[in-house]
Amino acid sequence: MLRVVIAEDSLLVREGVVAVLRAAGDVDVVAGVGDLPALLAAVAEHRPDVVVTDVRMPPTGTDEGVRAAVALRAEHPGVGVVLLSQHAETGYATALLDGGSAGRAYLLKERVSDPGQLAAAVREVARGGSVIDPAVVEVLVSASGRTRRSPLAELTPRERDVLSQIAQGRSNSGVAAALHLSERAVEKHINVLFAKLGLEPEPDSNRRVKAVLLHLAEPSS
């Protein structure tokens, strides 16, 4: 039998989770609590195999479930954690998995209605595996894609040409001569690319340096 502690401040939800897991047949719910201090105390007392916890609980109603997972990794590394959340949030997911995904699961609360899925997640983390809700994976992948996207991707080919010439140390007049543009046109392109790169108004020399650094940092440059 897998020994499990449930942490959820809503009594109805907590009792629902308890009922779902007890129906699995191989899970013994040894304690049900409603806040972070009670959760940590229950773990110390009962030494469960797995903790199933809501993300938000008293005393602050913010990230208690994540903080519990972090504390357990340090103090009770053998205890698995299944984190339940109302929404797929990248901040909670990355904090939960910081330090490794072994023995960790992140599920949306809607999965509680599927007894087999919740019990399977408990079994998986108990043996050191990990389970991440598909909706959470989708959000993480999307966020990762946005993070990896270079700000230079917003530039037009002509703006990239101008930036490339700046990176070679050319002045506005030099860029104009190299690209067969008027100096006024070059100035307009530079102002637009500064804006697209998120370079706040400051001396142009500083913004030129920052733009060049972004250009040089791009792998394909």
CATH number of this structure's domain 2-147, picked from the four choices 1.20.1080.10, 3.40.50.2300, 3.40.1180.10, 3.40.50.720: 3.40.50.2300
Cβ atoms of residues 181 and 175 within 8 Å: yes
Counting every residue, how long is the chain? 221
Average pLDDT of each block of 10 consecutive residues along the chain (221 residues)? 96 92 93 96 97 94 92 94 86 79 88 82 92 75 56 85 85 92 93 84 66 67 42
**pLDDT value, residue 101:** 82
**pLDDT value, residue 27:** 95
| DSSP secondary structure of 119-180 | HHHHHHHHTT-EEE-HHHHHHHHHHHHHHHS-GGGGS-HHHHHHHHHHHTT--HHHHHHHHT
Q: Tell me which residue of 129, 132, 136 sits closest to 50, measured CA to CA.
A: 129
Query: Tell me, which fold does domain 151-217 have in CATH?
Result: Arc Repressor Mutant, subunit A (1.10.10)
Q: How far apart are the first and last CA of the chain?
A: 58
- 25 membership: H or E segment, kind and range: none
| DSSP secondary structure of 34-98 | SSHHHHHHHHHHH--SEEEEESS-TTTTSSHHHHHHHHHHHH-TT-EEEEEESS--HHHHHHHHT
- The C-alpha atoms of residue 42 and residue 45 are separated, in whole angstroms, by 5
Task: Output the pTM of the full model.
Answer: 0.64
Measured in degrees and rounded to the nearest 5, phi and psi for residue 18 equal -60, -45
- Please count the other Cβ atoms lying within 10 Å of the Cβ belonging to residue 131: 21
- The C-alpha atoms of residue 4 and residue 33 are separated, in whole angstroms, by 11
Instruction: Dig out the tokens for 20 from the structure.
Output: 């779902």
Q: Tell me which residue of 175, 174, 160, 156 sits closest to 212, measured CA to CA.
A: 160
**pLDDT value, residue 132:** 83
- The C-alpha atoms of residue 214 and residue 220 are separated, in whole angstroms, by 12
Cβ atoms of residues 90 and 140 within 8 Å: yes
